[in-house]
Amino acid sequence: MSPTANKTSKTPTQTSKTPSKTSTIEFALFAPYNKGAALMGSFSEWKEIPMKKGKDGYFRTEVELEDGVYDYKFKVQSLSWFFEPDQWVDAIDPYATDVDESKGVGTVRIKDGKKIVDTYVWKHDDKPLPPDHELVIYELHVADFTGGENDPNPRGTYKHVIEKLDYICELGINAIELLPVKEYPGDYSWGYNPRYFFATETSYGTTAELKELIDECHARGIRV
C-alpha cells in the first residue's frame, strides 16, 4: 500500500466573489445647438463616453454604476466666440446638485440604484411653525453671520449658524430669510450671481448641512 493511501485527498477550495450590483444611470445635457457632447467621470477613469443627441435637444448616455459617490463632467463642442469653432471644452452639469468648481466637476450620489441629493433624514417636520401674520423676520447672510468682532464663534457655514440659533430665538426672531445660497463664482458673495441653480454654495457646506440648519430652525419654531 502506498504510504499516502490512507490520507484524505483535498481538493482546493474555490471561492467566488459575488459581483456588486449595478444599476443603469442616465446622464443628460441640454445643448440643442451644439454638435457633440461626451461624459467623463471617476467611474470611467475620466475616459470619454459618447453621448447621443435626441430631437428634444438633449444629449444622453447610460452608465452601469454601483451605489456610491462619483465625480463627473461633460465635454461639449463649443459655439462660443471665446474658443475655436467646434472646440471641445469641459463643462460642469448645470443640473448638478453638488459642485466642486476648484476641480471643475459635479458630484452624483447613487443609492439603491437611483440618483439622490443626500441621505439626510428630516427630524422635526412635525413641529408647529408661526403663521404669516406673526412673523418676525431676520435676513441672514451665511458668510457674514456673526455676533460682532469679539464673537468667539467662527462664522461662514451652515453649521456655524446652527450654533447661534438660540441667540436668534432670544432676539424674538421666528423666521429667517436666507440670502441666496446657490453655488456662485468664488468663495464670497451675497449670492445674487448664481452659477449653478441646483447646488448649494460649497463654502457654506453641503446640502445635508443646509437641511440640518432648516431642521434645527424648525425644532425651535423658526420658519426658513
CATH architecture designation of domain 23-116: Sandwich (2.60)
User: What is the phi-psi region of residue 125: left when phi exceeds 0, alpha when psi lies from -120 to 50, beta otherwise?
Assistant: alpha
Q: Are strands 58-65 and 23-30 parallel, antiparallel or unpaired?
A: antiparallel
The dihedral of CA 138, 139, 145, 150: what is its sign? negative
Q: What are the E-state strand segments in the chain?
A: 23-30, 37-41, 49-50, 52-53, 58-65, 68-77, 88-91, 99-100, 105-111, 114-116, 137-140, 175-178, 182-183, 196-200
The dihedral of CA 84, 86, 89, 94: what is its sign? positive
pLDDT on residue 80: 86
pLDDT on residue 148: 58
Is 132-219 in CATH node 3.30.750.90? yes
Q: In terms of pTM, does the model score above 0.85?
A: no
pLDDT on residue 81: 87
pLDDT on residue 14: 43
Return the ∠ at Cα 34 (arms to 97 and 60), rounded to 5°: 50
User: How do the domains of the chain map onto residue ranges?
Assistant: 23-116, 132-219
What are the residues whose beta carbons fall under 8 Å from the beta carbon of 139, sequence distance 6 or more?
Answer: 176, 177, 179
Which DSSP category does 223 fall into? B
Tell me how far CA of residue 179 lies from CA of 33, 60, 163, 186, 204, in angstroms.
34, 34, 18, 16, 12
pLDDT on residue 153: 60
pLDDT on residue 149: 63
Which pLDDT tens digit goes with each residue over 10-66?
Answer: 444 444 455 578 999 999 999 999 999 999 999 999 999 999 999 999 999 999 999
pLDDT on residue 93: 97
Q: Which ranges of the chain have pLDDT less than 50? A: 1-16
pLDDT on residue 222: 97
**Which residues face 59 on adjacent strands?**
29, 53
